[in-house]
Chain A
Amino acid sequence: AQKVTQAQTEISVVEKEDVTLDCVYETRDTTYYLFWYKQPPSGELVFLIRRNSFDEQNEISGRYSWNFQKSTSSFNFTITASQVVDSAVYFCALSEAAETSGSRLTFGEGTQLTVNP
């Protein structure tokens, strides 16, 4: 069975600090996909990134960067120079290749990030 662990329940930083959110996953599949979502107070989950298991290249998008380490089954997310607007709950999720169509996401429990001015 697949599992996603986000050990950090809450993180609080001061604006402009860098912060890394950890994600560790478990799966028996060789083909799988990893995702990060942001959930601001409004409730809607916002898709941030998708990474497949064959692509270990790290990615940077503006202040966001992701570090995929297959050897340690981790997919960590770093926000550089954090801003108050980054305050949200961040979810890491895993999707295995399914026998039927449609993707099935297994979510971690989320990390509440608070960025203080």
Chain B
Amino acid sequence: ETGVTQTPRHLVMGMTNKKSLKCEQHLGHNAMYWYKQSAKKPLELMFVYSLEERVENNSVPSRFSPECPNSSHLFLHLHTLQPEDSALYLCASSQAFDFGLYEQYFGPGTRLTVT
């Protein structure tokens, strides 16, 4: 595997379900990110992990819970979601240093539908 991978690619879940999205990066990076991409909206940054510590949480509802067990893996745990949470969830990674210099590399995304 190369680059950034995400599983599953598609997910349909009911509002009472619990599921998790997985992201893995094979680039040797030490920062990872979750973004939400809804139709007709710009990409929204949800969480930032740098050196396995969460450094940013952009007022995301608690029904989204991130986990970063090591610098290569990132999870997004989902529970009691709402239909408006249906979107493409993108994971990205980058180097962590030099404060904004490095580009982010994205995975293919998970298309989530909440019914």
Contacts and interface: CB of A to CB of B under 8 A. Distances in A.
Interface of A: 4, 32-33, 35, 37, 42-47, 50, 52, 91, 95-105, 107-110
A16 to B, nearest CB: 29
B31 interface: yes
Given A91-B43, A103-B31, A33 B101 contact: yes
B101 A104 contact: no
Contact of B100 (A32, A37, A42, A43): A32
Contacts, number: 77
A38 B26 CA distance: 21
Contacts of B94: 102-103
Q: Which 7 A-B pairs have the closest CB atoms?
A: A45-B106, A102-B50, A95-B100, A101-B96, A102-B31, A44-B108, A103-B100
Contacts of A101: 31, 50-51, 55, 96-97, 99
Interface residues of B, number: 30
B104 interface: yes
Contacts of B50: 100-102
A37 B35 CA distance: 14
A95 to B, nearest CB: 4
Given A103-B94, A104-B45, A104-B56, A52 B111 contact: no
Contacts of B75: none
A44 to B, nearest CB: 4
